[in-house]
Chain A
Amino acid sequence: MSNQVFVERPRYTCASGGAVATVTALPGGIPILHAAQGCAGNFAWTQNGAAGLQVGGYCGSLTVPSSNVQEREVVFGGVDRLCQQITHTLEVMEGELFVLLTSCVTEIIGDDVAPVVAEFREQGVPITFAETAGFKGNSYAGYDLVLQSLFRDILERGLPLQKGRVNLWGIPPYQDVFWRGNLVELRGLLEKLGLTVNSFFTAEDTVESIRTASAAELNIVVSEVYGLEAAKVSQEIHGVPYVTTALPIGPAATEQFLRQVAQALSLEPAILESVIASEQRYYYRTLEPLTDCYNDMDLQRYAIVVGDGNYAPALTRFLADDLGWLPELVVITDSHDDDRKRALTLTVKTLTSGLKPHLVFESDGSQIISHFHQIWPSRQNQKYKHAFNPAFVVGSSLERELAASLGAAHVSISFPVSNRAILDRGYAGYRGGLRLIEDLLGVVIAGR
């Protein structure tokens, strides 16, 4: 069972790493690390092994400018080196948004970066900073901190509200390996409702649309746990209200998501109903030809779902309420405070199919099997036994040994995803549900 003294194979990197990944995904985004030389490499290797073969972007990996502080800076302070580094970064690097990110070393030695960055911003440089020391949190925290900095320093203040304009976030780039596909799909759905969307990280987003995102009528956070602090900052500084929702995967969750957004914006019911009807028609017409094989091949499965605070509840809901599978154990692998645990639990415990999977918060993959044995005692050596099969483990690539020990099929979705190549595949929305069915069943029939 999980312990308080270490985390086994943490399924994220630190706040600084999450922040670098986030800035890398922004249009023209240039992260500037104020850190020891190895932080950038650690993040690059992490992405290399865990992000579905996606490393870097416009300015990621080992291209990231970094002050590479040494013992000298630890003793005498690193602010001078930082000023030099920013000055030269602006000489060498072509960027639209610069985000200075601090680290363990530079925060412990107490470098005061805010005045340095303020000075450059006063000269008109599009730059902000986030204090992302690794000891302050993980990748998810880094993502949230960068968004907060954008709202604080980059989004213009005092713009008049624009009806029908919304911002969408809650999906951390690279940490959610399917970030691009998920954002594109949800953005497209919101546009079908007639909304103008800024989603920060897609190819459609621009620095201009980010700058003026403070004019939005509503912020939509498709996460119950990630990016929530940024939503509060935006509300406080720009007066934009927000809604949060579980990551919508498949028709049931997506319909609920669309209704929630429509209600928050008081949208015309006719438009909403027409979008839902059209999307559902597409989903079920596409699904229809699967019916024969789904039945003939007995493709219903028991499932163990392992993932982060976004994926574990969202996948569980899809498997139970849309696909008609039987998720028995749900494992959330990153840490959350009690309030957020309650929200996540509620999502898992209010399935419309009436299933009540067992939910645990467990960071250590090797302990999942013990949780499973508690809910599903092994009945070896019995002639008639209600075994846990046929079964599927929907988790990360670290669940391969678990799946093998249970004789279950396996697919990697939540970070780390080391054994799949992902570019713009996504599981969010109606079409994401279809992709997910393809990927799950594709594994089952691979040897056919």
Chain B
Amino acid sequence: MSFLDQKEPPRREERLGACIAMSDTVGTLAKKKSCLLDDGERAFSQGSICLMLPALAILNSIPDSVVLVHGANGCGSCSHSQNANTRSGSLQRTGKGKDAIWLSTGLNETDVIGGGEVKLAPAIREADLRYKPKTIFVVSTCVPGIIGDDIDGVVAEVQPDVEARIVPVHCQGFKTKIWATAYDAVYHGIGRRLLDEPEESDEATVLQDVKVSISGEQQTEEETEQVSQLERERFHRTVNLMNVSSMGRVDELELERLLQSIGLEVNFFPVFASPDGMYKMTKAALSISTCPTHDDYILKHLKEKYDVPYQLKHMPIGIENTNRWLRDIAVFFGLEERAEQIIEQEVQELGSALEEFKPLFAGKTVFVSAGEFRALATAQLLMELGFDVRGIRSFHHDEFAEGEYEKLARQAKTDFLINIANVQPFEEANLLQKLKPDLFLGHTNGNMTASKLGIATHVIYNTGLSYVGYKGAYELARRLYRQLRNPSFNINLSKHIRLPYRAEWYQADPFRYIRTRGGRCHE
């Protein structure tokens, strides 16, 4: 039975054996064949995010939709920051910046005792009447998860009276430590509810337009055949490019440029994709992931149910990674020759452009922290730029990244530290104090530790900035050059501000609070 036949997707801990707490070195990890590493628990931990946050980041971007967060009044307030992305993202794509619409059922003490379902049904009806959306995403959170609200039951009951398609998305934060489950949760909802082709589809309209433009009013049988042939060819050259909000428009454009240069057409899913057009992902010739950690759930579903093959390898961050990513796609379509020409030209142009920055980068040590694939791919880029990578912290670990450790181990001058941690700045503070890198790249909300220690920093992920492809490699280098030329903001902070850790902590083993499975303590 497919995962999508269930109400909720499985936890990634079970589905993928993903883990969040361990430390090792790149050399050792490169040799491990299984992803089932010794996962651990922390006996001291700091806050992180849950799957609801990245899920809302995707859902808030989807046009003609409202997001109804079923939970206490604060769940989903993260949308305030995502709204900035929704505004700029819609401005870049449609010329009009629009606020996302998110709503909260605001469950209170009475609801906790009596159940929240009574609130959910009228909330869905009211949202449908008031905003007239095409889709209502009902996001379930911790409270309904514990008190046992049957979200899918309510949705099934209300759907016949409601114009919008209602998509349940299950985001109970306490159920999984792996917040990348967010992508499964969103894809699960989309896969179950939004992939059916509408009866009067856009495709039919497109086909009609093509017919008219080719033949005018009269149409012979031959011409009809000609049109169908054209249309088939078009689908044969159209790919799904998956973006779960880890790329901004500038990055989409770079990948579109590369794919178009070998003759492919690109549709982006699911961010900023119209709910009515989601079914088009079932029609493509190939689905392409830009970050394997994000997309396996839907790509496997598209393959199984709609026979759309997929590519789930390499992240196009870094020069060699981009080459490989593009080359694999080209091989699928038999366009190797064209791709090799493009790659050669791009690599050469980029190489000369980077020369300007390399003397400043040469031998500088760097520490990277982010989602696993992004951290590893960015580390490879940093090596290509001449940095000496001293450590990587990934938010979790799963099977998709196995090959990446081998790539890194091959490139690394010396073995270095790998630490799996869902953020945990206290470990980071300890490590950075010991390793004293020249540069730190951390995720959103993840640079404050290095910053206050006076280390030059740069954000490794921000949807407005350019990171991917050849252009991303150049732009990242350009930004790092800027940061390294004057890190005074951080240096000044470090002179006047202290991190909230005891002096003794910096002397301790940074991993002393990790207890691995079976109760062994790291001390």
**Residue A58 at the chain B interface, CB threshold 8 Å:** yes
Which residues on B sit within 8 Å (CB–CB) of A432?
Answer: none
Are A88 and B44 neighbours in the complex by a CB distance under 8 Å? yes
The residues in B between 96 and 119 inclusive whose CB is less than 8 angstroms from any CB of A are 98-99, 101-109, 111-112, 119
A113→B49 CA distance, assembly (Å):
23
Are A39 and B47 neighbours in the complex by a CB distance under 8 Å? yes
Contact of A5 among B75, B126, B146, B446 (CB under 8 A): B126
- Which of A90-98, A120-128, A255-263 contacts the other chain? A90-98
A40→B73 CA distance, assembly (Å):
15
**Residue B58 at the chain A interface, CB threshold 8 Å:** no
Extra contacts, 6 of them, besides A38-B50, A46-B80, A134-B75 (Cβ < 8 A), are A6-B105, A37-B422, A41-B50, A49-B79, A134-B71, A136-B109
Contact of B77 among A6, A10, A136 (CB under 8 A): A10
**The 10 A-B residue pairs with the shortest CB-CB distance in the complex, in nearest-first order:** A40-B47, A38-B50, A14-B74, A49-B81, A41-B49, A134-B72, A88-B44, A49-B80, A45-B78, A66-B47
Are A108 and B112 neighbours in the complex by a CB distance under 8 Å? yes
A93→B429 CA distance, assembly (Å):
12
Selected A-B contacts with CB under 8 Å, 21 pairs: A9-B103, A37-B177, A38-B49, A39-B50, A42-B49, A44-B445, A46-B81, A50-B77, A50-B80, A62-B47, A62-B49, A65-B44, A85-B44, A88-B513, A93-B426, A94-B502, A105-B146, A108-B143, A135-B111, A135-B143, A398-B99
**Residue A64 at the chain B interface, CB threshold 8 Å:** yes
**Residue B52 at the chain A interface, CB threshold 8 Å:** yes
Report which A residues bind B (CB closer than 8 A): 3, 5-10, 12-17, 30, 33, 35-46, 48-50, 55-56, 58-59, 61-71, 73-74, 84-85, 88-89, 91-95, 104-105, 108-109, 133-139, 366, 398, 400-401, 416, 418
Contact of B127 among A6, A12, A398, A401 (CB under 8 A): A6
Are A8 and B109 neighbours in the complex by a CB distance under 8 Å? no
Are B108 and A135 neighbours in the complex by a CB distance under 8 Å? yes
Minimum C-beta distance from A108 to chain B (A): 5
A229→B457 CA distance, assembly (Å):
43
Are B502 and A71 neighbours in the complex by a CB distance under 8 Å? no
Are B46 and A135 neighbours in the complex by a CB distance under 8 Å? no
A42→B171 CA distance, assembly (Å):
13
Are A61 and B448 neighbours in the complex by a CB distance under 8 Å? yes
A13→B130 CA distance, assembly (Å):
23
Minimum C-beta distance from B426 to chain A (A): 6
A9→B327 CA distance, assembly (Å):
44
**Residue B214 at the chain A interface, CB threshold 8 Å:** no
Are A135 and B112 neighbours in the complex by a CB distance under 8 Å? yes
A40→B446 CA distance, assembly (Å):
13
Given the interface pairs A5-B119, A9-B101, A418-B80, the reply to whether A62 lies near B425 with Cβ below 8 Å is: yes
The residues in B between 175 and 193 inclusive whose CB is less than 8 angstroms from any CB of A are 175, 177, 179
Are B174 and A36 neighbours in the complex by a CB distance under 8 Å? yes
A36→B147 CA distance, assembly (Å):
15
Minimum C-beta distance from A44 to chain B (A): 5
Minimum C-beta distance from A79 to chain B (A): 15
Which residues on B sit within 8 Å (CB–CB) of A36?
Answer: 50, 142, 173-174
A210→B482 CA distance, assembly (Å):
43
Which residues on A sit within 8 Å (CB–CB) of B127?
Answer: 6
Which residues on B sit within 8 Å (CB–CB) of A12?
Answer: 73-74, 77
Are A45 and B81 neighbours in the complex by a CB distance under 8 Å? yes
Minimum C-beta distance from A174 to chain B (A): 12
Given the interface pairs A36-B174, A45-B78, the reply to whether A8 lies near B101 with Cβ below 8 Å is: yes
Minimum C-beta distance from A196 to chain B (A): 27
A5→B154 CA distance, assembly (Å):
15
Minimum C-beta distance from B33 to chain A (A): 28
Report which B residues bind A (CB closer than 8 A): 42-53, 68, 71-84, 98-99, 101-109, 111-112, 119, 122-123, 126-127, 130-131, 142-143, 146-147, 173-175, 177, 179, 422-423, 425-426, 444-446, 448-449, 498-505, 513
Minimum C-beta distance from A208 to chain B (A): 19
Contact of B103 among A6, A88, A94 (CB under 8 A): A6
Are A40 and B82 neighbours in the complex by a CB distance under 8 Å? no
Which residues on B sit within 8 Å (CB–CB) of A68?
Answer: 42, 45, 47-48, 177
Given the interface pairs A56-B448, A138-B73, the reply to whether A69 lies near B78 with Cβ below 8 Å is: no
A133→B173 CA distance, assembly (Å):
15
A86→B474 CA distance, assembly (Å):
46
Which residues on B sit within 8 Å (CB–CB) of A133?
Answer: 72
In chain A, what residue has the closest Cβ to B500?
A59
In chain B, what residue has the closest Cβ to A55?
B445
A91→B501 CA distance, assembly (Å):
9
Minimum C-beta distance from A89 to chain B (A): 7
In chain A, what residue has the closest Cβ to B51?
A38
Which residues on B sit within 8 Å (CB–CB) of A85?
Answer: 43-45
Are A17 and B44 neighbours in the complex by a CB distance under 8 Å? no
Which residues on A sit within 8 Å (CB–CB) of B504?
Answer: 91
Are B175 and A9 neighbours in the complex by a CB distance under 8 Å? no
Minimum C-beta distance from A365 to chain B (A): 8
Which residues on A sit within 8 Å (CB–CB) of B44?
Answer: 65, 84-85, 88-89, 91-92
Given the interface pairs A37-B50, A62-B423, A62-B445, the reply to whether A105 lies near B80 with Cβ below 8 Å is: no
A67→B326 CA distance, assembly (Å):
43
A40→B423 CA distance, assembly (Å):
11
Which residues on A sit within 8 Å (CB–CB) of B142?
Answer: 36, 104-105
Are A63 and B448 neighbours in the complex by a CB distance under 8 Å? yes
Minimum C-beta distance from A404 to chain B (A): 10
Which residues on A sit within 8 Å (CB–CB) of B84?
Answer: 49, 418
Are A71 and B175 neighbours in the complex by a CB distance under 8 Å? yes
Most chain B C-beta atoms within 10 Å of own C-beta, residue among A3, A62, A108:
A62
Minimum C-beta distance from A169 to chain B (A): 22
Minimum C-beta distance from B353 to chain A (A): 33
A71→B53 CA distance, assembly (Å):
19
Which residues on B sit within 8 Å (CB–CB) of A109?
Answer: 146
Are A42 and B80 neighbours in the complex by a CB distance under 8 Å? no
